[in-house]
Chain A
């Protein structure tokens, strides 16, 4: 096994441990737990058995397995950034509601 594989596996195990801790702390829903658990386990499988991504790459018509991983990562990252942005907007609106209610309660 290459050094990079070992380092990545250690990182994925650390990420899995954090996922479980977040779930236990109530910061993550059951759906979130399943998603992130599968995500990091799959990432571990791809790192340990690099040819596994090549199999899926061929199915979708991409030459190399590594390319498939990069493409998928980019799509997932963009989508998550977008979702985070929308969520932040919602939180911002909630803050506005609280600030407004407080201001109106103190009207002269």
Chain B
């Protein structure tokens, strides 16, 4: 049984489209974790047919994903799909990831924007921010990936049990990769499409991630 977990904060204009798009692909279990949005994200998600959990205080994307993961474990789901709520991802990419999980090729499937040419990545991001981020990711995790921080990943039951997201903000992406290595989980990257409506995480966001990772190491 699969559960799609969508962390969402102030996505009232997009969340309905994202949820409906997933239903159209045949996915039945969709959970939106509303991270204390100040708009109608919660109602829009419910109206589109998703289950909704609401954080009373904004805690960040990592915290929302962990809430979704715990919900999945409590409800007995075997596979969890992390999917963004900003309508930038392509729901047709999920099937290939599920095939890899179901064929026991991997415990974790990570999406990569660099394994095909479908993604439209802003120039500065593609040639400056992402290469540096990949290197930083490698320093902190010891895992070489073709991409970082795009939010598409699928975890099987074993990975769901092992991975515990403690980074509430955006550093959870690096944390997950680190835990994949620490727990010796099998992982694979698959090509995914990400269409940018906004620039997304910038240089300052990157510094915040590094700071969060350093603080966590020192705790």
In the complex, what distance in Å separates the CA atom of A96 from the CA atom of B166?
9
**B residues within 8 Å of A by Cβ?**
33, 51-57, 59, 63, 66-67, 70-71, 74, 166, 168, 215-216, 218-219
In addition to A95-B57, A100-B67, A106-B53, 7 A-B residue pairs with Cβ atoms within 8 Å of each other are A86-B215, A93-B166, A95-B59, A99-B56, A103-B67, A104-B67, A107-B74
Contact A99-B57, Cβ < 8 Å, known A86-B215, A107-B71: yes
Report chain B residues within 8 Å CB of A103.
Answer: 33, 53-56, 67
Name the 10 nearest CB pairs between A and B, nearest first. Answer: A103-B53, A96-B63, A100-B67, A96-B59, A99-B55, A99-B57, A89-B215, A96-B168, A103-B55, A99-B59
A92 close to B55 (CB less than 8 A): no
**A residues within 8 Å of B by Cβ?**
82, 85-86, 89-90, 92-93, 95-96, 99-100, 102-104, 106-108
Report chain A residues within 8 Å CB of B54.
Answer: 103, 106
Report chain B residues within 8 Å CB of A86.
Answer: 215, 218-219
In the complex, what distance in Å separates the CA atom of A100 from the CA atom of B95?
29
